[in-house]
Structure 1
Amino acid sequence: MIPARYAASRFPAKLMQDLAGKPVIVRTYEAAINTQLFDEVYVVTDSDIIYETIEKAGGKVLKSIEEHDCGSDRIAEAVTDLDVDIIVNVQGDEPFTDKESLVSVLDVFKKDPKKEIDLASLMVRITDLEEINNPNTVKVIVDNNNRALYFSRSPIPYPRDKEVESVYFKHKGIYAFRKSALMDFQRLPMLMLEAVEKIEAIRYLEYGKTIKMVETTVSGIEIDTPEDLKRARAEWK
């Protein structure tokens, strides 16, 4: 499932921007299809423009009935009546989505016979100070088993002791959910930490869900700003 909103606070209509001759959302859809990992791939949107664009490109698209504040809610509505076990959320602004990373996320559930993991997601190590301090970059800290402890737009961990080497991970916006966890998300109200950080993954933690993080070396480019789009165009070439 690829949730796709037309409006975006930092970069309105970013999913319809041209990337090597096609809109960003079409490039992302094609990237997910090309992995050949999924039974079905859908774009889920509230936008007539995006809906018609995906249809014209020959893709599968669903129209949201209700208004939603985040991708998890949008996907939950779309899969409510579907007989599925695992749902993967690929963000619409991730045209560089790669097969290797998705395989590693799906493997989490294959190695979880007791079904202790509710979600799996990706993180990539970052060292650039500007990116570490950038609030548009969501950071994650994990325990010894790579289970998420917290997500933040602030630099975490805070380097109080400068003599201790700090390791920072950026959270990549790809999730795999058990359907039950996604349905719980939809019915549970937003709490303070999610509200103040504006990071939907925090809701799962606040309600005791277990998120297994998988480290990847594939950083890709998430298109959040016009500057990101320029980088993506250069990388695509």
Structure 2
Amino acid sequence: MESKKMIFMFDVDTTLTPHRKRVESDMEQFLQKLRSKVKVALVGGSDLHKIAEQMGGDDVIDKFDYVFAENGLVAFKDGKQIGQENLQKHMGDDILQKVINFCLHYMSQLTLPVKRGTFVEFRSSMLNICPVGRSCSQAERDEFSAYDQEHKIREKFKAALEKEFGNAGLQFAIGGQISLDIFPVGWNKTFCLQFLEKDSFETMHFFGDKTAKGGNDHEIFEDARTIGHTVTSPADTIKQVTETLNGLGL
């Protein structure tokens, strides 16, 4: 039995996969079984390349009913692209350079356990800012994450950005394990909902780990159009999805 008017949406990192690692086989099998009952969408903050890397390959857009990369600013349905926004055209280089310069200066004042490379990643619809540098190893990523939890590096960085650019029409969110996302107001994960509303879904469940205020799952988790679920790991996602399906008699 399939509920055609219901969709289950998933954040990727820490929800479906371990931090920045490939999806495990039990989750892959679980998600494909889930597709026999409800429509399934991925809603990631990362670009499509990183989502594909974590979710098992470039055919990711064919494995799910919808794939929303960069919060849905790059959108796919049934393997075909249905949406694309452009940060540079929307904001202009003047404000973007001011934001990038501020971030680079702020990060230059930080002393962390390590610093590597790629501190600013320019994506088609957002800036991804990484104090430790995206080229860090998994061990260094884990080390920064633990340091960040203790010293609130990203939380303080986010507050500084909001103070400096509070009137610039930008939103700042803590995403993943090591970075922050910067994008125009409204370009958070709720952006993807317009595509689902167009397709007349009556019930939309969302599962994510960064659902607290300031996290990049918060707005879609809180949105009146969705039923939000906070998860802590891929195993917890499977558990909560199974409980939800049982409660629905699916």
Normalised TM-score (structure 2): 0.29
Name the structure where helix makes up a greater proportion of residues.
2
